[in-house]
Amino acid sequence: MQTDRSKLCGCKGIRTCLKCEAIFNISPIHQRNVSLFEYAYVYCTTCDRCWRGWDYVEHDKHEGECIRVDGIQILENFLTLEEESQLINNLELLPWELSQSGRRKQNFGPKCNFKKRKLRLGNFKGFPKCTKFIHEKFKDIEMLKDFHTVELCTLEYDPCRGASIDPHIDDCWIWGERIITVNLMSDTVLTLTPYIADKGHYNYDLAPEKFKKVNNELFQVIRIPLPRRSLIVLTGEARYSWLHQIYREDICSRRLCLAFREFTTPYLPGGEYSREGKEILVTGKNYWI
């Protein structure tokens, strides 16, 4: 298999899309498997519980066993239809880059070397002006009012390319505890599976110790419905103890999402590396047209 297909479709290594699978006769690794169904629970925003099943069932129709995963917050209708439409129109005017697994991206943030744990400003100039109102909305949400965005990534998922995202944990060296995503254009489902700690990935040795011991011995799958125009925040257990992914089969029509990241404590004012973080935090307050 040709490992680096970045110029062809954006994929590298084990990651694939419909285009490179067809050309190189590759079988996708992270497929949705019916064998997972028996381990599945679906998250309900109303009761903050996960109920047995693969597909969402309305709150008043829950039956059977339920469990709880701490650290999942969903705010439905975070954007109005008009706000969503205007935001999408403005983002479409900006250039897109090919990304892995059939996605396209627009990335705004500092240059990070995750292996060497090196950070620099790079070409970061701030964020598109069309996203400023979202940052303002954060201030009206109690758990986000002190959130300072240092990276914004717009991702496009198109079923025509077989777009998906493999199971992963956001880097624990540089990205802080609150992982925010705003979901646009269509509904989808975020799937969580337990993370068996491997210090060689995600700079996981820097994750809070209390969340490294959360997972029990039972394999479970948590399905989190993400309605169009909703906001989801992963913190604590959901952020550090579970891998999150989006299956190709859960992208039924074109979807955009905006992912917002903050610094870890050492890069914030008063932290050990605050001098490195200061310029980036200041730049993150800029909005350009």
Q: pLDDT tens for residues 105-115?
A: 999 999 999 99
Tens of pLDDT, residue by residue over 154-198, are 999 999 999 999 999 999 999 999 999 999 999 999 999 999 877
pLDDT score for 191: 96
Give me the pLDDT at residue 55, please.
Answer: 87
248/223 Cα distance (integer angstroms)? 14
Q: What is the CATH number of domain 31-288?
A: 2.60.120.590
Question: Low-confidence residues of the chain, pLDDT below 70?
Answer: 1-3, 31, 34, 199, 214-217
Pick from 114, 203, 189, 102: nearest CA to 151: 114
Residue given tokens 């490195």 in the structure block: 276
Tens of pLDDT, residue by residue over 244-263, are 999 999 999 999 999 999 99
Question: How many other CB atoms sit within 10 Å of the CB of residue 274?
Answer: 15
pLDDT for res 6 = 76
Q: Rounded to an integer, what distance in angstroms lies between the CA atom of residue 27 and that of residue 21?
A: 6
Contact 182, 274 (CB under 8 A): no
Q: What's the pLDDT at 33? A: 72
Q: What was the pLDDT predicted at 154?
A: 99
| Domain assignments of the chain as residue spans, ordered by start | 1-30, 31-288
